[in-house]
Amino acid sequence: MIHFAEPIFLWLLLLIPLSWYLSRRLRLIAWGRRAAIVTVRTLLLLVLVLGLARMEIRWESRDLAVLFLLDRSDSIPAELQTEQGNLLKALSGRAGVRDETGVIAFGEKPSIETPATRTFDYEGQILSEVNGERTDLSAALRLALAAFPSDRMRRIVVMSDGNENLGSAVEVARVARNGGVAVDVIPMNYEARNDVQLEKIVVPQRTSKDAPFDIKIYTSAEKETPALLRVYEDGNVIIEERVTVRPGRNAPLTVSRRLSEGGFHTYTATIEAEGDLRPQNNRGSGFTYLKSEPRVLLVEGGMAESARYLAGALRAENIAVEIGGPGEIPTSFDRMQRYDSIILSNVPADAMSVAQMRLLERAVHDLGIGLIMIGGENSFGAGGYQDTPVELALPVSMDIKQKKMLPNGALVLVLHTCEMPSGNDWAREIALASLNVLSAQDYFGINYLGMGASGRGGWGEEWLWDAPIQLVGDKRAMRTAIKGVTPLDAPSFDSLMKLAADELVPIKAQTKHIVVISDGDPAPPSQAVVQKIRDAGITVSGVAIFPHDPSTVESLRHMATWGAGNFYFPKTGAELPRIFTKEATVVRKSLIREETFTPRFGAPSEMLLGFAAVPDMNGYVITTVKDLATEALSTGFDDPLLVHWRYGLGKTVAFTSDAKDKWATNWVAWGSFSKIWSQMVRWSLREANSPNFQVNTEIVGGTGKVTIDAVDDGGNFLNFIDFDASVIDPEFKSVPLDVRQVAPGRYEANFPATRVGTYMLSMATGEESPTGSPQFLTSGVALSYSPEYETSQTNTEFLKKIAEAAGGKFVEGGVANYNPYLRDLAPSRRPLEMWPWLLLLGVMLLPMDVFFRRVYVNWGEAMGWLGEKFLGMIPRRAPAEYDARMASLRAAKTRATRDKEEEKAERDARAAFRDRLSDTESRGQGESVFGASQDADTAARGQKQAKPTDADPPMPGAPPPGGMASLMEAKKRAQQRRKK
Amino acid sequence: MAQSSLIPHPSSLLFISVFAILLLASCGRDKSQSNYGGAVAIGHAGRQPGQFTKPRALAITAAGEIAVIDRSGRVQFFEAESGEFIRQWRLAEYSNGTPTGMSVDPVNDSLWIADTHYSRILNYNKEGELLFSFGVNGEGPGQMIFPTDAVPDPDGHTLWVTEYGRANRIMRFTREGVFEKEWGSPVYESDELLRPMALSVSPDGKSLYVVDAGNHRIVVYDREGNVLRRFGHLGKDWGAMKYPLDMAMAADGSVFVLEYETARISHHSPDGKFLGSWGEPGKKLGQLFLPWGIAVGPGGEMVIADTNNQRLQLLRNPVRFFRGEAPGGVASAVAESVASLFDSAGSTQ
């Protein structure tokens, strides 16, 4: 019941007997008062010591809380989910009045649907959204343990098919048991239904031109099923035929193919059967690579025909070129793998998603694909590439540091994002997307209805940073501040836009731009504010997102109309960062410099071999050369024109002017135009895959396995190769691979492969490896469906293990006899910390202690007085001896008072005498000091003796009355002097 | 002599009295935790009965039931006396957005709901049965895009509707949905009326009080649409307001205006004189977080939809907790906590 957290302090209880011992000196005090003092003091000490020892009282609770853990992963089909709901309804209905019920839904991550509550009532729907691609029961159990109210008996009821593919639930179940939490398990059993599965597709990693090769497709089923098989090559159907899938794993279906076009080719197979339990596990993909002539993708962001100059030049030099618009930029690795170099000519950053840019950057870094960016009004910084993955890959930076004065812009974002799902996250994302585009010399401000800087003191229109609109400068501080942006629901744009206009007007910037994002619900700005913004030449764009109904977006459309800006109405939040990148570039057009210049040669470069001079150019985009990059040509205004470097396995080139009839009119007419561009492009091409390596990759049970066989040209094993290898997962994250030699010429590596999508491998050998010069190798493997769909069986053994580990029940054969609310658990103990109360008691006892020691209360009289005063009682007569004692005490007091009065008189007399003495001295009468003093003394004594009994005869030696009069006079004089 | 020994020593006396005050204050503080500013909370975040997801439109019926609509489209009823949940039902449609205004018909105690995002007016009885609905989406006379409030007139047959689609306007209908008259100002062209969010009819039925949210003021019209007076202006001082979104009319004709951004209720006499204010921004009781709705019941009790705090706050005797001085003073805080002590003593739950 009672427990001490710091029992060592209990030794201080010894102070109590000590205090009793010391209280002996109080023996003169009346018994009752002494008892009170000792008691209070003892209590005080006791309370303080118990408080120091952190006394806790533990209550036993027999109340019960039950948390239901519902497996909502993809392996639970819809009908099983319905059954889960029915079970939940039935079981939660068995709760008693005092029982609490809660629900947690889980897949990859758990989510609390309803915290434990007494009023739980299942409404027939689970609203929590969980990622169903994984099952992590352990995370759900951990959340449940954390979410339980501490003062109750606790039970977890798991409803799952037991197909765990993340974490280890058994361990957490043991933890639960130790914590006194019971875990019962209700298995979710699949109906006996057929599942046809495409287990894998095997394609040779490499092939030769026009050589036949086999594609093998492995299928399985529970029972014999007719099915339709389709095989696609690079997205086109090549086979469509009816097959019969037999029970168990089937012999592979084989398709023979031959290829003539070089590059990477993707094969996808699908199998369809009627009444299939899981259609999700019916597809698979594989790649093959055919070595070929270099192939270049030229992406033209401007007019399509303006690509003809460059394309013509490259073709003239026998480089295969594909021309495309920004929509042609590959969105997957296998598509990107078809090219050896990609040229972006005047392509704005917003033409690509962030994921696409990351893909491109990774493709350069890890797959060795070349990248060339050519200038234009939508390239480099003017195209919004600042702080993008593409900028990372390029040899120039979009931030302009060396210039002292730059034409700059000012951007204000007005945020009202709270009405959209995850609105505040989006607010941060778009603020970052805009900030990324801006340079250090631009002005940036974000305003919204916020919580106030202090968090209290009221919400209102606020700016994100201290100065409303601030020079971007070092972006780190702004990035940190952006993390804290939490826009609330603004009722109107009026005050927000008025603030924006007020702050923008005095700023010295070339372009001033406001972007408003909202669901369109707030009231539009007033006419006065509209006029002010228009008068100041500020442009306004409107972004409508997740409106209640389409008509609410009108106010934003209207805003973009009078504000001479753009209006956007994206369907999803995913488009927002791109929109804000584009809008932010409105203030960045100042980076374009259109003046004629003669390019100057810089560092020697193999790209310019054979050239000593190049024609004049008419314009370019201002950038900054990165450290370690080679600046082959500069513009003559101290800005880079042609810069290149190696980036990972790939090579990238920045050409800040263009290759068409705008800035390069002299170049396109120049005889060496083809030669110089083909040299640049050839330099950037990817290195060919090494013929010395044979790679095999497959994914088994969430792990990717890579096997490399290395032989030299003579067929001998290559040993002790040091591979620098990495794998890029479907989210374009690069994971380094630990490649180990396991046999002569054979190497292996593993990587986690739990996400659905393509995994690209890239490997390079070092300079010192037995292959001599560095060798490159790329390969890929796809995980076509989530492991949730791999099995169609309930993992009963696993579920039993969970129940066993946690000491709970495994509920088999229906729940008719199962009641999760049975009080068959150990009662929970709830500790109640006592020290705050003990401290309070101590504070109360302390003045009592002081009171009893310092204040004497005659309780009899006090009561009497109280009775007389308030109850009209006649005071009780005191006994006679008491009266007598009181009388003598009063007499003693009178005497003491009289003595005091006499002393005072004597003091007065002495003072008077001293006064007189000083008077006589000043008059020059040589009276003896001692004599005078004696006189005064005698006078004082006479007075003293004379006072009590006036009738006494004068004492011998008393001064004559005249002396007295003179004394009195002296006193008066002294008093007068003092007054002066 | 005997009495002087009773009162032992002035310093001891002082000590004891300070101690007693501390003790009393700690008790008082403890109570005010659950009763700050005289308010009690009803509900908290959640989807269960009696819980809310952003409660917004509300009204108190003649029978003393609080009706409140939250973002989940539920209309929940609570006992105004005890704050206890009574029943709930759901609006037929709510995915576009939920209503901003709701009023009680004095004739039959039914609910008139301005279904803002569905451009229509709904009339439900308390059991959730749809009695009548009307409304055509459009900009023409009698049509509406975003109706914000629907208020039945005490005359028994008129219904007032405020709307802000393409025009900020006030419309007069019969209870049968027959359009009679409208006035207002077009959106994007005039700032005369910006977002009329709520309307109240004075007890004598002669004047209409309209919340002009975008102009931070209350406009008083006669029944024909002539402006009688305006009061309120943008600001945080007493008498000023910032984004008023709702109002409630007391039986004596004084109005309680709910201010969204300043998170308070200001009390004004019928002629616009500032009488007092209640509430401040925050999350405790007596504080509001971007509130949307207010209603005053037949017994004078006031209920506020403290929207972003996911609860209602109920004041049984509101006016005694309204202040007319600058907030934050020690004196007012002490007065408030003493008042709350007495209030909690007076009304034992």
ipTM: 0.78
Q: Per residue in B93-103, pLDDT tens?
A: 888 888 999 99
- B290 and A CB contact within 8 Å: yes
Tell me the shortest Cα–Cα distance from B157 to chain A, in angstroms.
31
What is the predicted pLDDT for the residue at B16? Answer: 58
Which residues in chain B touch residue A457, judged by CB atoms under 8 angstroms apart? 281
Residues A844, B23: C-beta atoms closer than 8 Å: yes
- DSSP for A41-108, written as a single string: HHHHHHHHHHHHTTEEEEEEE--EEEEEEEE-STTS-HHHHHHHHHHHHHHHTT--TT-EEEEEEESS
Which of B117, B187, B261 has its CB closest to that of A459?
B261
Which residues in chain A touch residue B262, judged by CB atoms under 8 angstroms apart? 458
Which residues in chain B touch residue A546, judged by CB atoms under 8 angstroms apart? none
Residues A458, B281: C-beta atoms closer than 8 Å: yes
Which of A458, A524, A551 has its CB closest to that of B145?
A551
- Roughly what angle, to the nearest 10 degrees, separates helices A673-684 and A308-316? 80
Question: What are the angstrom distances between the C-alpha of A575 and each of A378, A555, A585, A733?
Answer: 19, 21, 16, 21
Which of A452, A528, A855 has its CB closest to that of B9?
A855
What is the predicted pLDDT for the residue at A772? Answer: 65
Q: Is the pLDDT of residue A947 over 80?
A: no
Residues B48, A121: C-beta atoms closer than 8 Å: yes
- A889 and B CB contact within 8 Å: no
- DSSP for B10-54, written as a single string: HHHHHHHHHHHHHHHHHHHHHHHHTSGGGEEEE--BSSSTT-BSS
Q: Which chain B residue has the Cα nearest residue A862?
A: B6
Q: Is the pLDDT of residue A935 over 70?
A: no
Amino acid at A348: P
- The answer to whether residues A334 and A779 touch, using CB atoms and an 8 Å cutoff, is no
- A537 and B CB contact within 8 Å: no
Residues A492, B194: C-beta atoms closer than 8 Å: yes
- Over residues B25-38, mean pLDDT: 47
Tell me the shortest Cα–Cα distance from A461 to chain B, in angstroms.
9
User: Which secondary structure element, helix H or strand E, spans residue A621, and what is its range?
Assistant: strand A620-621
- Counting Cβ atoms within 10 Å, is residue A319 exposed (0-12), middle (13-18) or buried (19+)? buried
Tell me the shortest Cα–Cα distance from B154 to chain A, in angstroms.
30
pLDDT band at A954 (very low <50, low <70, confident <90, very high): very low
Which residues in chain B touch residue A528, judged by CB atoms under 8 angstroms apart? 191
What is the predicted pLDDT for the residue at B59? Answer: 95
Q: Per residue in A72-106, pLDDT tens?
A: 988 888 888 888 899 998 898 888 888 889 999 99
Q: What are phi and psi of A118, to 5 degrees?
A: -75, -20
Which of A120, A460, A523 has its CB closest to that of B194?
A523
Residues A549, B214: C-beta atoms closer than 8 Å: no
The number of C-alpha atoms within 13 Å of A592 and in the hemisphere containing its C-beta is 20
Binding-face residues of B in 113-142 toward A, CB within 8 A? 117, 137
**Structure letter (DSSP) for residue A511:** E
- Counting Cβ atoms within 10 Å, is residue A529 exposed (0-12), middle (13-18) or buried (19+)? buried
Place of tokens 């305003």: A447
- B73 and A CB contact within 8 Å: no
| Interacting residues of A932 by C-beta distance below 8 A, sequence separation 6+ | A913, A916, A917, A920
What is the token pair recorded at A847?
């003045």
Question: What is the C-alpha to C-alpha distance for residues A434 and A445, in angstroms, rounded to an integer?
Answer: 11
**Structure letter (DSSP) for residue A373:** E
Least confident of A62-76, A105-119, A665-679, B17-31: B17-31
Question: What is the C-alpha to C-alpha distance for residues A815 and A813, in angstroms, rounded to an integer?
Answer: 7
Q: Is the pLDDT of residue A382 over 80?
A: yes
For testing the chain A interface, which of B236, B257, B260 should be mutated: the one with the most A CBs within 10 Å? Answer: B260
Q: Is the pLDDT of residue B86 over 90?
A: yes
Q: Which chain B residue has the Cα nearest residue A456?
A: B282
- A419 and B CB contact within 8 Å: no
| Interacting residues of A753 by C-beta distance below 8 A, sequence separation 6+ | A699, A702, A703, A704, A729, A759, A781, A783
Which of A119, A120, A459 has its CB closest to that of B290?
A459
Cα angle, residue A90 at apex, residues A86 and A92 outer, rounded to 5°: 115
What is the predicted pLDDT for the residue at A529? Answer: 93
- B42 and A CB contact within 8 Å: no
- A460 and B CB contact within 8 Å: yes
Amino acid at A769: S
Question: What is the C-alpha to C-alpha distance for residues A866 and A864, in angstroms, rounded to an integer?
Answer: 5
Question: What is the C-alpha to C-alpha distance for residues A616 and A602, in angstroms, rounded to an integer?
Answer: 16
CB atoms within 10 A of CB A874: 8
Which residues in chain A touch residue B3, judged by CB atoms under 8 angstroms apart? 865
CB atoms within 10 A of CB A428: 19
The percent of residues above 90 in pLDDT, for chain A, comes to 21
Decide which of A859 and A575 is more confident.
A575
Question: What is the C-alpha to C-alpha distance for residues B241 and B244, in angstroms, rounded to an integer?
Answer: 7
Place of tokens 């951007």: A411
For testing the chain B interface, which of A111, A855, A869 should be mutated: the one with the most B CBs within 10 Å? Answer: A855
What is the predicted pLDDT for the residue at B11? Answer: 47
Question: What is the C-alpha to C-alpha distance for residues A177 and B66, in angstroms, rounded to an integer?
Answer: 46
Tell me the shortest Cα–Cα distance from A858 to chain B, in angstroms.
7
Q: Per residue in A100-143, pLDDT tens?
A: 899 999 988 898 888 888 888 887 778 777 888 888 899 999 99
pLDDT band at B34 (very low <50, low <70, confident <90, very high): very low
Can you give the C-alpha Rg of chain A in angstroms?
47
- DSSP for B100-150, written as a single string: SEEEE-TTT--EEEEEGGGTEEEEE-TTS-EEEEE--BSSSTT-BSSEEEE
Longest dimension (CA), chain B: 92
For testing the chain B interface, which of A33, A424, A526, A849 should be mutated: the one with the most B CBs within 10 Å? Answer: A526
Which residues in chain B touch residue A854, judged by CB atoms under 8 angstroms apart? 9, 12
Tell me the shortest Cα–Cα distance from A353 to chain B, in angstroms.
30
Question: What is the C-alpha to C-alpha distance for residues A242 and A235, in angstroms, rounded to an integer?
Answer: 20
- The answer to whether residues B67 and B34 touch, using CB atoms and an 8 Å cutoff, is no
Query: How many interchain CB pairs under 8 A, A with B?
Result: 108
- A570 and B CB contact within 8 Å: no
- The answer to whether residues B54 and B71 touch, using CB atoms and an 8 Å cutoff, is yes
Residues B281, A457: C-beta atoms closer than 8 Å: yes
Q: Which of A305, A282, A375, A364 is closest to A330 using CA atoms?
A: A364
Which of A494, A528, A548 has its CB closest to that of B117?
A548
Residues B213, A492: C-beta atoms closer than 8 Å: yes
- B16 and A CB contact within 8 Å: yes
Residues A855, B282: C-beta atoms closer than 8 Å: no
CB atoms within 10 A of CB A615: 15
- B243 and A CB contact within 8 Å: yes
- The answer to whether residues A518 and A493 touch, using CB atoms and an 8 Å cutoff, is yes
- A454 and B CB contact within 8 Å: no
Q: Which of A275, A279, A176 is closest to A226 using CA atoms?
A: A275
Amino acid at A48: L
- Over residues A251-280, mean pLDDT: 85
What is the predicted pLDDT for the residue at B7? Answer: 45
Residues A523, B164: C-beta atoms closer than 8 Å: yes
Residues B50, A491: C-beta atoms closer than 8 Å: no
Q: Is the pLDDT of residue A347 over 50?
A: yes
Question: What is the C-alpha to C-alpha distance for residues A668 and A663, in angstroms, rounded to an integer?
Answer: 10
pLDDT band at A341 (very low <50, low <70, confident <90, very high): very high
Residues B191, A526: C-beta atoms closer than 8 Å: yes
Longest dimension (CA), chain A: 158
| Interacting residues of B235 by C-beta distance below 8 A, sequence separation 6+ | B216, B241, B242
Decide which of A767 and A70 is more confident.
A70
Residues B214, A127: C-beta atoms closer than 8 Å: no
What is the predicted pLDDT for the residue at A933? Answer: 44
Least confident of A138-142, A474-478, A767-771, B46-50: A767-771
- B6 and A CB contact within 8 Å: yes
- B213 and A CB contact within 8 Å: yes
Residues A865, B2: C-beta atoms closer than 8 Å: yes
Residues B49, A494: C-beta atoms closer than 8 Å: no
Amino acid at A204: P
Tell me the shortest Cα–Cα distance from A762 to chain B, in angstroms.
49
For testing the chain B interface, which of A122, A552, A866 should be mutated: the one with the most B CBs within 10 Å? Answer: A552
Question: What is the C-alpha to C-alpha distance for residues A385 and A393, in angstroms, rounded to an integer?
Answer: 11
Amino acid at A508: K
Q: Parallel, antiparallel, or unpaired for β A624-625 and A620-621?
A: unpaired
